[in-house]
Amino acid sequence: MFTQFGTTAENFSKASTMVFRIGTDAHLYDDPDDVSISPLLDSKFDSEKCEALKRLLALIAQGLDVSNYFPQVVKNVASQSLEVKKLVYLYLLHYAERRPNEALLSINIFQRDLGDQNPLVRAWALRTMAGIRLHVISPLVLVAVRKCSRDPSVYVRKCAANALPKLHDLRLEENATSIIEIIGILLNDNSPGVVGAAAAAFASVCPNNLPLIGRNYKRLCEILPDVEEWGQIILIGILLRYVIARHGLAKESIMASLLPNIFNNENTGSESDTDYLEIKKTYEIGIQEPELVAMVSRSYLAGHDKYLSHLNNSDTISSENTSSRFTSSKNDENVKILLQCTSPLLWSRNSAVVLAAAGVHWIMAPVEEISKIVKPLLFLLRSSDASKYVVLCNIQVFAKVMPSLFGQNIEDFFISSSDAYQVKALKLEILSSIATDASISVIFQEFQDYVRDPDRRFAANTVVAIGLCAKKNPQVAHTCVEGLLALTSPKSINSTSGSMDDEAVVLIQAITSIKDIIKQDPPSHENAIICLIRNLDAIKVPVARAMIVWIAGEYNSVGNIIPKMVPVILRFLARDFPSESIETKYQILNAAVKVLLNSKGEDFHTAKSVLSYVLDLAKFDLNYDIRDRARVLRKLLSCYFSSSGLEEKEDNDEIPLLLAEHIFGETIKASTEMFNNRFYLPGSLSQIVFHAAPGYEPLPEPCSLTESDMVKGLEGPTQTEDNDSDVDSGSLNEEEGSYYSEDSVTASTGTDNESAASESDNNNTDSLINFSDVGKPQEAANGLSEFMSKGALESWLDDNDNPGSSQNVAGIDNNERISSARISIGDISTRIKPKIYTLLDPTYGNGLKVVYKYSSEVSTMSPSLVSVDTIFENCSSDPMTKLFLTHEDYELLDQGSSSESQKDVPDFVPMEKIAILEPGQTIKRVIHVHFHHHLLPMKLILWFNDKKHPVKLRPDIGYFIKPFIMDLDVFSQKESQLPGMFEYTRRCSFTDHLAELASDDKDGDVPSTKDSFLIICESLASKMLSNANLHLVSVNMPVDANLNDASGLCLRFSGEILSNSIPCLVSVTLDGKSFEPLNATVKINCEETVFGLNLLNRIVNFLPEPRLTS
Amino acid sequence: MLQCIFLLSDSGEVMLEKQLTGHRVDRSICAWFWEQSVSQPDSFKVLPVIASPTHYLFQIVREGITFLACTQVEMQPLMGIEFLCRVADVLSDYLGGLNEDVIKDNFVIVYELLDEMIDNGFPLTTEPNILRDMIAPPNIVSKMLSVVTGNTSNVSDTLPGATSSCVPWRTTQLKHANNDVYVNLVEELDAIINSDGVLVKCEIFGVVEVNSHLSGIPDLTLSFANPSILNDVQFHPCIRFRPWESEKVLSFVPPDGLFKLMSYRVKKLRNTPIYVKPQMSSESGTCRLSVMVGIRNDPGKAVDSLVVQFQLPHCVSSANLTANHGTVNILADKTCSWSIGRIPKDKAPQMSGTLVLEDGVEQLQVKPTFCVGFKIMGVALSGLKINKLDVKNLPTPAHKGFRAQTEAGQYEVRS
C-alpha cells in the first residue's frame, strides 16, 4: 500500500498529490499490474485477495483481457468475505461466457449460497448464477429462480424477477412455460417492488401474452402508483397494450379518427350516428388537420411501414375499423381506471414516467381532457438537457396533431441562449406549428430577436420558421415578407459581420422563404418581387442571386410594373452574363426564355434579341452544361430565331413551340404539403431516431384479445403445473412472437417456382459473361471508348477468346462505359448438393438408417413450412414395419393441436406411415416442418417395429428462407433501404475453389476451358446454394481486375423469410489471390435483426468448411 | 434494455465499462462515438440519443464526464437518460464531485454501485439512502482506517431493511440523538426580456428541499398558506397522492438526509426584482455599449451576488469596458462577465465602454444576450408560504426550521 511513497526526487510532486489519494484505489487503477496478481489471488488473507481482484477489475475497466486468471478467481467464490464475493461476481459476470467450463466450477458454491441465511448472499448468488448464462446450468437456474420467487425477502424476489429475462435469453424452449408461470406468480406479488421487476420481465420475455395481465389488471392498476419508478415506466406500457387489445380504442380519444364516417355527414338516422356527430363536435375542438390525425393514429396502430402499404386501399381499412373495435373512455370501467391510476404519475419526478403516463392519456383519454398532460410535459423542460431534447421531440408530434393543446403556452418554447442548437431548432418548429392568429404577433416579436442571434445557423432556422408561419396563416404573409425583405436589403447585407458564409445562409434562407410565400399568391406580393429585383445588384451570393432571377422570370407577367422591369433587368444581366456564377447563368437563360414566351409586340423583339445575345454568349461558355443548354434552347426555340419570326412559322415548328411553352410557360401551383414525417408511439426510441428500432411494436390490434383467449391464457400455467413434466406442453409460448412477428404469409409459391424454372431455362447451360452498364444510357460518341479501362477489359477478353466453348462472351459493347462487369453463371443446379444429415445411424437403430436433407422446394402444404427430404433405408436383413415419425410429446400435441396459443412451438405435419420396409429397400418421404425460427434441435420420436427411438432433427436456418427472385436493380434498391442497424457483416475464409483449380491444372492435355474467376464464382455460388435456399441475383467483378486477383468479386443472393416474407439480402465479397485461400466478407441486410444475425453466423460457419467430397 | 455503460473522460478515454447483458458491446463503439463528436462538435456532442451503425447510444455529460449507454432494441430513451442522470447524481454524491481522477481513484466503488443499481439492463436499486447502506461511501475516516488496518471493505454484509419495507426510500431503524428537520424553499427565477424591454416570460421554478434527521419512521405533513398557486408540480415518490388531491397538503414519510420533496412552477409573474438595461449603438466600426442595473421592485431583502454575463459577438476584435461598481472581466472565449455583488444604496451600477469591430464591419448586426445571476436570501419570490409542518410518530419532539431563498435561473435580457 505504501509503495507509492518510495519517492525519488523526480516524482516527488507526483507523490504529493498522492497524499490526497490515500485510502482510495488510485494506485490500483494507475498501475494495476505492477505486482504479480496470481500469488495474491492464492493468498489466504482476504485483504490480499481483494487487492488482486481490484487489480483485475482495473484491468477490465481499462479494456484488457484478463480472462486467463479465471480458474484462480473462480475458486475464491467460496470466500466468506462479502467484499471478495462481490468482486469475484463482478469478474465472473464479465468472463463466464468465454470460459464456460471453468465457470461450472462455481455452481456448487452458488447452490450453497442460495440456502444462506443472509438474503443479500442469496440474491447475489442468484443474480450471478443467472448472469453467467450457460445452457448447461439453465435447469439449475430455473429451480433456483422458482425457489427464490417464493423467498421471504422482497429483494430476493425482485432479483428472481430480474433473473427471468436472463434465463429467457438462452432461448431454451423447455424453460419457456416455467418462465411465464413464474412471471405470473411474481406479477401477483404483494410487494410493489417485485411487481415492477416482474413487469420488466414480462415486457422482455412475453410482451404479447396479455391474458396474463388480464388476470391481475385491476390490481396492477391500483398498485401502479406504489411501484418503483422504473417499473412504472414498463407497467404503464403493458397496461395500455392490454386495454387496447381487450377493450379496444376509446371513441372520444384522438384515435377516434379511425372511426368510419367521422369526417363525413352522409349517414343520418340511426342512433349510433347521432352519437358520432356528437363525438365529431368535441373532436374538432383542437384538430385542424384530420388527415394528419388519422395518419398518426393509424401508424400508432399498425406501424409506419404497414400503414404506407395500406395507403392505397384505405377503403378496406376504414371498413375494417368498425365501431365494434371502439369503447368509451367515459363509460368503460377498465379504461377509466387506467386513466385514473396514471394521472398522479404525471407528477412524478422521473421524466420517463411522466412521458409514459402522458402517452397513455394522449392515446386513451377523451380529447377534451388531454390538456391534462400539457403542464407536466412542459415541466420536464426544466429537467436535464438530454431529457429536454427527447421530451421536445415528443411534444413536437403532439403539437403537430393538436396545435391548440400548447397554444396557451407559447412562452415555454421561447428560446433561451443556453439551449443547445437542436433544442432551439425543435422549439422553433413547435412554435411555428402552434402559432394562431392570436399568438402570431407575439411569436413574430420573438422571431425578430432570434434573427439577430449571434448563432447564424439558428437565425437561418428562424427565417424558415417565419416562412412556415406565413404559409399557415396567410393573413400575416405580408408582415412576414416585409420582415424577410429587410433581411435581404442592401443595408443589412453590406454591413454583415464576421464570416460571410454564416450570413449567406441566412440570406439564402430568407429568399427561399419569400419564394415559398410568393408561390401561394403571386399577385398580392408584387411589391415584394419588385423589392427583391431591386436588391439584385447588391446580392452577391450565387444561390440567392439565382433564386431572385428565377423569381423575376417566373412572375414576369404579374401585375403592372414587373412586366416593364423584367426586360430591363434581363438586359442588365445579359451584359454581365460571362461573369455570373453557373447557377445564375442557368436561371438567366430560363428567365430570358420565359420572358420571350410571355411578351408581345415591341417587348417581343427586345426579349428576342436579349435571348439570342445570351444564347450566343452561352455557346462559348467554359461550362459544357451551359453550352449544351444553350444549344437545346436554340433548337427548341428555332422558330423564334428563323428569319421572319412567329407569323411564318412552318407546321413542324409547332411541336417545339408547344414543348417550350409547356416547359417554361406553366405557372407553378402551390403544392400541398406532404407529411413525410414518421410517427411512432410517444416516448419510444423509434420516435426519436425516426425508424422502427428492432423490437418496436405498434399498439396491438384493438379487441384482438377475446374472452376465449383470456380463458386459455388463464388455464395455461395451471395445466402445466398439473402435468408437471419437463416437456413443452406448448400452451403458453407466445414469447417467441416478440421476436418474429407473425405476419400473414401471402406470397404464392407456385409462381415463384415457375419463374425460377423459366429463368434457369433462359440461362442455358453454358456460362455467359456479359458486361452491363449500370444505369447509363448508351452513348453514341465514339470518343468515349477511350475513357474506359480498355486494357483491363481486353486482357479479360483475350483470356476468353473461345466463344464456342463454355464461355460465351456476349453483349460487350465497346462504346459503353463500364464500371463493373457482370458474370452470369448458367445452370449450376447440378453442382448444388444439399448437406445430408443423419437422423438415425444404423448402429443405433437396429439396422435402420435414416438420413435427411433440406429441400429447396417450397412445401406443398403451406408456404411457411420447411420441407425436409427424409430417406429411410433398411440396412438389416429383416423387414421393418410401421415406420413413422412423431413429435416428442406427440400425445400432448394431439390433444391441443387446435389451440392457438401453441403456434410457436416447432411442429410438423404428421408423416405418412411406411407400412413395411424390406431389407435393402430405400423409401423417401418428405416431411413438412414448422420450425418457428427455433434453432435448437427438434426432438422427434421415430417409431418402427412398435418401438420408439428418440432422434433429433437439426434445423438449418439456411432453409428458413426461400429464393426471392429479383434483379440487380431491385437488389441494390432494397439494400439501400436497409442500412445501419439492419446491416451486419462478418468475414471468413473460402477455400473450395482451390481443389477445383488444382484439378484443372492437372488435366494438362485438355486446354483449360475454364477461367479461374468462373471457377471461384461457381464454387462459391454452389456452396452458398447448397447450404441455403437463396436466389443468385448477380455475380459482379471489377473490370480492372487482374487475372489472378479475385479481389472485389461480389456475389449477391436474395431470399425471403418463409414465415413473414421479409426480404433478406446476402452479399459475399471476395478478397485475395485466385490460387490462394480467399477472404470472404459476408454482408446481410435484413429487417429481422435476430434472424439476419443467425443466418450470417450460419453462412460464416459453412463457407470455410471443406467441400463435400461426395 | 441497456446493454452496456461506458464512462468516458473529457479526453475521450474509456475509464470504465460495465457490461450488463449477455450481448457484449465492444468498446470500439466509444472510439466511433468520440470520433464523431470531435468531428461535429456542436451538433453531435449535445445529441442525447444517437443511432450508431450498430447500437443506439444514450449520452449525458456531467462535469466533463460522458456517461454512455448502449442498447440494440426499442426502449424508452428517457428511461436510459434518466437512469444515467441518476447514476451521475449518485456518483457525484458518493465521490464528492465528478472528475476523471475521482472516478479512477474509486473505480471499485463505481463498479459496486453500478452493479447494485442495474441488473440485466434494468434498474435495480437507485435510492441513495439504500445504496449508502449497502455500499459505504468513501470518507476520511474509512480511508484512514483502511490505511492503518489494511481492511478495505466498504460492502455491507447485511441487506438494508428498507428493501423489504413499504417505504423503500427510507432506511429503517434510524436513530438520531437530535431530531431535527429543515425545510428550505429554493426558487429560481426564469425570465426573458426582449429587445424592446418587454418582459415576455417570467416564472419561478422552485424546489422544496427537506433535510430530515428523524428517528424511526416519522410521518410528516406539510401545509402551505397559499397552496392554490401550486398547480404545476413534481413529487418525490414518498408523497402520498390522496391528501394532495383532496386537501392540498403534503403527507409523507421522508428519506433520511437532504432530498427534494417537491418541485413546482409558478408561471406568468408580472415583475422582476431588478432591471438590467443594455443599450448598444454602433457606427463606423465601433460600438458603444452601456448596461444599467438597479432595483425595480424591492424584494425586501438584499439582492446579492449580482453578475451580468454576455458573449461578445465574433466580429468584435477588442473591447474596452469599465464599470462604476464591481469588476469587469473578459475571458479568452470572449465571455464578458461583470460581477457587481450587492447593489449599492447610493448609486445605480453602470457598465459602459466601446467595442471595436473587425475591419470591414461597419455596424453590429447581431445582438448578444445578457445573462443575469443574483441571489436573494430569505425570500421566496413566488409568494409561496409554508403554513406548518406536523411531525407524527416520533418519540421526542423534533426541532423544525424553515428557510427560503431565490436565485436567478435562466434570466436573460436581449439587447
| Span B49-74, pLDDT tens digits | 888 888 899 999 888 899 999 998 88
User: How does the average pLDDT of chain A come out, rounded?
Assistant: 73
One-character DSSP codes across A54-105:
HHHHHHHHTT---GGGHHHHHHGGG-S-HHHHHHHHHHHHHHTTT-HHHHGG
The proportion of chain A whose per-residue pLDDT surpasses 70, expressed as a percent, equals 72
- In this predicted structure, the answer to whether residue A270 has a pLDDT above a threshold of 60 is no
- Nearest chain B residue to A192, by CA: B166
pLDDT category at A676 given cuts 50, 70, 90 is low
Res A23: pLDDT: 57
- Most confident range, picked from A398-402, A928-932, B357-361: A398-402
User: What are the residue ranges in chain B where pLDDT is below 50?
Assistant: none
A435 near A470, Cβ under 8 Å? no
On the question of pLDDT at A206 being above 60, the answer is yes
* CA-wise closest residue to B153 among A896, A50, A968: A50
Amino acid B163: pLDDT: 61
Who's near A733: CB < 8 A, 6+ residues apart? A173, A176, A177, A901, A902, A903, A904, A905
Question: In this complex, do A165 and B1 lie within 8 Å of one another by their Cβ atoms?
Answer: yes
Of A529-543, A782-796, A1045-1059, B391-405, the poorest mean pLDDT is in A782-796
| pLDDT tens string A825-866 | 656 666 777 777 887 777 777 778 888 888 777 776 777 778
Chain-centroid distance of CA B159 in Å reads: 31
Look at residue A1020 and tell me whether its pLDDT is greater than 90: no
Exposure b/e, A952-979, CB count within 10 A at least 16 = b: ebebbbbbbbbbbbbeeeebbebbeebe
For position A105, what pLDDT does the model report?
80
- Ranking A1-15, A343-357, A925-939, A1066-1080 by mean pLDDT, the lowest is A1-15
B171 with B160: CB under 8 angstroms? yes
Beta-bridge partners for B51: B56
Which residue in B237, B241, B366 is closest to A454 by CB distance? B366
A1068: left (phi over 0), alpha (psi -120 to 50) or beta: beta
CB contact under 8 A, B119 and A127: yes
Q: Where does the pLDDT of residue A743 fall: very low under 50, low under 70, confident under 90, or very high at 90 and above?
A: very low
- The pLDDT, as a whole number, for residue A258 is 64
Q: Does residue A757 have a pLDDT over 70?
A: no
Which of B47, B56, B74, B261 is the best residue to mutate to test the A interface, defined by the most A CB atoms within 10 Å of its own CB?
B74
The whole-angstrom distance between B346's CA and the closest CA on chain A is 33
Q: What is the pLDDT of residues A780-806, one digit of tens each?
A: 334 334 333 333 333 433 444 443 333
Q: Residues A684-697: what's their mean pLDDT?
A: 83
- Among the partner residues B119, B357, B365, nearest to A492 by beta-carbon distance: B365
Region A262-271 average pLDDT:
41
Q: What is the mean pLDDT of residues A426-447?
A: 86
* Residue-wise pLDDT tens digits, A557-591: 777 777 778 888 888 888 888 888 888 888 888 88
> Cβ B151–A47 below 8 Å, yes or no?
yes
Q: Which residues of A touch B357 (CB under 8 A)?
A: 497
Q: Would an 8 Å CB–CB cutoff place B11 in contact with chain A?
A: no
B159 vs A contacts (CB less than 8 Å): 118-120, 123, 153, 155
Distance, CA of A142 to CA of A151 (rounded, Å): 14
The full DSSP string for A632-682 is HHHHHTHHHHSTT-STT--GGGHHHHHHHIIIIIPPPPPPPPP-------T
Residue A742's pLDDT band (boundaries 50, 70, 90)? Answer: very low
A4 has pLDDT over 60:
no
Q: What confidence tens digit (pLDDT) does each residue in A275-315 have?
A: 555 555 555 555 556 777 777 777 787 755 554 444 444 44
Least confident range of A855-869, A872-886, A911-925, B145-159: B145-159
pLDDT at A320: 46
> When comparing pLDDT for A499 and A438, which is higher?
A438
B27 to chain A: which residues are within 8 Å by CB?
63
Q: Is A59 on the interface with B (CB under 8 A)?
A: no
Q: Which of A621-635, A905-919, B386-400 has the lowest average pLDDT?
A: A905-919
Q: Does the structure show a pLDDT above 60 at A550?
A: yes
B157, A120: Cβ pair inside 8 Å? yes
* Whether B317 contacts chain A with CB within 8 A: no
Chain B residues inside the 8 Å CB shell of A58: 107
Predicted TM-score (pTM) of the model is 0.70
Whether A496 contacts chain B with CB within 8 A? yes
What pLDDT is stored for residue A642 in this prediction?
60
Closest CA to A343 of A252, A246, A230, A225: A225
The pLDDT value given to residue A1101 = 83
pLDDT reported for residue A1061:
80
H/E segment holding residue A887: strand A880-887
Mutate: best of B7, B79, B251, B335, partner A, most A CBs <10 A:
B79
Average pLDDT of A517-544? Answer: 82
Task: Output the CA–CA distances (angstroms, integers) from residue B414 to A94, A418, B160, in the order listed.
Answer: 53, 13, 52
pLDDT at A110: 86
Most confident of A206-210, A915-919, B136-140: A206-210
A191–chain B Cβ distance below 8 A for any pair: yes
Return the top range by mean pLDDT from A78-87, A400-409, B185-194.
B185-194
Q: Which residue of A has its CA nearest to B146?
A: A23
What are the angstrom distances between the C-alpha of A797 and each of A792, A810, A1033?
9, 11, 23
By residue count, chain A amounts to: 1110
pLDDT value, residue A486: 79
Residue A249 DSSP SS3: strand
Judged by a CB distance cut-off of 8 A, whether residue B184 touches chain A is: no
Q: Quick one: pLDDT at residue A355?
A: 93
For the record, the C-alpha cell of B272 comes out as 422582476
pLDDT tens per residue across span A151-205: 888 888 989 998 898 888 887 777 788 888 899 889 888 888 899 999 999 988 8
The stretches of B118-205 forming alpha helices (DSSP H) are 128-134, 140-149
What pLDDT is attached to residue A569?
82
Secondary structure element (H or E) that encloses residue B280, with its range: strand B274-283
Q: In this complex, is the C-beta atom of A131 within 8 Å of any C-beta atom belonging to chain B?
A: yes
Residues 6+ apart with CB under 8 A from A39: none
Write down the pLDDT at residue A280: 53
> Which pLDDT value is given to residue A677?
63
**pLDDT for B371:** 92
